[in-house]
Chain A
Amino acid sequence: MADYVELMGFGPRGWGLLLVRATLMTVAVSATAFALGGALGALIAWARIGGDRTLRLAADAYTTVLRGVPDLLVIYLLYFGGSLAVSALAQALGARGFVGVDAFAAGAIAVGAISGAYQSEVFRGAYGVIAPGELDAARSVGMPRLMLFRRIIVPQALRSAIPGLANVWQLALKESALISVVGLTEILRQAQVGAGSTRKPFAFFITAAALYLVLSTISGWGFERAEAVAMRGVRRS
């Protein structure tokens, strides 16, 4: 036990600092992915609610594929496919050889693409809570579409989307662990490195698990708090 504390601590033999840095990396890559997914999810939800037939079909196909195919495959596609595209571009510009794409970027985009598929479902459900009369009323006072979106739709839809978004955030947080396979030094990757060089795999992976639990618990509180703030003025049954 004392050995474990020293190993995970901040002393000369400790991996504490590296693990803290890796935890920040997990938060950074998950948050980037979640934000990307939010933008993407809003666009997809828009296509599914207000788009014409082709747009709706495309949006449906996107969510079906991204939610049905293993996340690992999506990460491989974005990482290797992205590297291929970047290399082709670099060669066209006169560079030679292979250019790898950044693991952070590829990972964040991959997890973001998956998160976007889930978030579009959340947004679509949340849009349903807006009374059609409110949209009519806003239109009848001559609100431009963007203002209607910003003033009427977003505040109400986002409020009821918070619990769903909390779920999707937890998913993104856990999916970010998969980015370790393309070499991004987040929690799991750092734990693998530590396990390899100290031959104490259990100690490192149990610490990784604990770090994820801490992150998910803290963000769970955060979302609960956000929901409480957002729901201040709403009467509930």
Chain B
Amino acid sequence: MDFAFLRETFVLLLSGLPLTLQLAFVSIAAGAVLAVLLALMRLSGSRWLGALARSYVFVFRGTPLLVQIFLIYYGLGQFPEVRESVAWPFLRQPYWCALLALGLNTAAYSSEIVRGGILSVPFGQVDAARACGMSRALIFRRIVVPQGLRVALPAYGNEIILMTRSTALASVITLMEVTGIASKIISETFRPVEVFVCAGAIYLMLNFAISRVVALVERRLSPQARKRAPAAAAPEPVR
């Protein structure tokens, strides 16, 4: 094992980490807003809004993310209307196209998670809140969101990890995040195994950190589970 090469590669790859994090963070945050909108559209009871949200989810979950990235980065430029629009300075840059594609993609997956979370809140609770005279917005904020979030969080944590992993696709449209740098080093040195080990270690550490943070948030959101924790530590019954 050539440790000098490993260390050098690791340091080089780390310089791509800020871009990876940025892509993941911005797209997940923007995607979350859109996801809530989509989930609300599906639960609104309106046939048109529901169908619109359903077809959005169908299209974005049924096609590869790489196709979506290419469609936005290379595809949109085909139309003179787009090239002359105010959005063109953004849409011609790989960075914004990658963010757009990643955000639209995660919104589709997350909206299903959000919908599941909202649906998991027992209707009796909403009923009770209504009986107390709470407004719809207040019910949503105080009753539905805290409980739904708790249910949706484990699945959403998974989605965050998957999305962080998916930012690697941005390297295909020339962005130099961790995977982009990795592929550059591979083609220069032709040592794929060492580069894979270093890049893999970075992604695994990132995933581990994310899963710890999600677990922490989960604990904060469920005070009842915290109180029950000592009971869980009691000796297991003998089988």
Q: Can you list 6 A-B pairs, Cβ within 8 angstroms, ordered by A? A: A65-B200, A70-B169, A76-B183, A170-B62, A177-B67, A200-B78
Q: Inside 8 A of B56's CB, which chain A residues have their CB? A: none
Query: Which single member of B76, B169, B190, B200 contacts A202 (CB below 8 Å)?
Result: B76
A185 to chain B minimum Cβ distance, whole angstroms, is: 15
Q: Is A84 in the interface zone, CB < 8 Å from B? A: yes
Could you mark each residue 161-173 of chain A with 1 if its beta carbon is under 8 Å from any beta carbon of chain B, else 0?
0000000001000
Cβ < 8 Å to B, chain A residues 55-70:
64-65, 68-70
Residues of chain B from 55 to 97 with CB closer than 8 A to chain A in the complex: 58-59, 62-68, 70-71, 74-79
Q: How near does chain A come to B180, taking the closest CB pair, in angstroms?
A: 10
In the docked arrangement, what's the CA distance between A195 and B77, Å? 12
Q: Considering the chains assembled together, what is the distance between the CA atoms of A81 and B182 in angstroms?
A: 14
Q: Does A174 contact B (CB under 8 A)?
A: yes
B200 — which chain A residues lie within 8 A by C-beta? 65, 68-69, 73
Any chain A CB within 8 A of the CB of B161? yes
Cβ < 8 Å to B, chain A residues 83-107: 84
Instruction: Tell me which residues across on chain A come within 8 A of B199, comparing CB atoms.
Output: 69-70, 73
User: Does B66 lie within 8 Å of A180, measured CB to CB?
Assistant: yes
Q: What 0/1 pattern do residues 29 to 71 of B give for CB contact below 8 A with A?
A: 0000000000000000000000000000011001111111011
Query: In the complex, what residues of A have CB within 8 A of residue B70's CB?
Result: 188, 191-192, 201, 205, 208
In chain B, residues 87-111, which have Cβ atoms closer than 8 Å to a Cβ of chain A?
none
Stretch from A10-18, A31-39, A143-151, A211-219 contacting the other chain: A211-219
A8 to chain B minimum Cβ distance, whole angstroms, is: 14
Q: Is the CB of B63 within 8 A of A209?
A: yes
B169/A72 in contact, CB under 8 A:
yes
Q: Is B27 an interface residue (CB 8 A)?
A: no
In angstroms, how far is the closest chain B Cβ from the Cβ of A131?
16
Say yes or no: A70-B67 contact (C-beta < 8 A), given A200-B78, A205-B75: no
In the bound complex, CA of A74 to CA of B195 (Å): 11
Number of interface residues of A (CB under 8 A): 40
Q: How far is the CB of A180 from chain B (nearest CB, A)?
A: 7
Q: Give complex CA distance A157, B77 in Å.
A: 49
Q: How far is the CA of A74 from the CA of B182 in the complex (A)?
A: 12
Judge whether A206 is part of the interface by a CB distance below 8 angstroms.
yes
Q: Which residue of B lies closest to A208 (CB)?
A: B67
Known: A72-B168, A73-B179. A80 touches B186 (CB 8 A): yes
Do the beta carbons of B63 and A212 come within 8 Å of each other?
yes
Question: At the interface, is chain B mostly helix, strand, loop or mixed?
Answer: helix
**Contact (Cβ within 8 A) B78 A202:** yes
B179 — which chain A residues lie within 8 A by C-beta?
70, 72-73
- Asked whether A203 is an interface residue with its Cβ less than 8 Å from the other chain, the reply is yes
A181 at the interface (CB under 8 A from B): yes
Which chain B residue shows the least CB distance to A87?
A: B190
Question: Which residues of chain B have C-beta atoms less than 8 A from A177's C-beta?
Answer: 64, 66-67
The answer, among B62, B74, B161, B166, for a CB contact under 8 Å with A217, is B62
Which B residue sits closest to A178, measured CB to CB?
B66
Q: How far apart sit A161 and B21, CA to CA, in the bound complex (Å)? A: 35
Q: Is B25 interfacial (CB 8 A cutoff)?
A: no
A193: interface (CB < 8 Å):
no
Task: Judge whether A203 and B78 touch: CB under 8 Å.
Answer: yes
The residues of A that contact B76 with a CB separation of less than 8 Å are 202
Contact residues in B for A174 (Cβ distance below 8 Å): 63-65
- Contact of A84 with B66 in the complex, beta carbons under 8 Å: no
Most buried by A among B75, B77, B207: B75
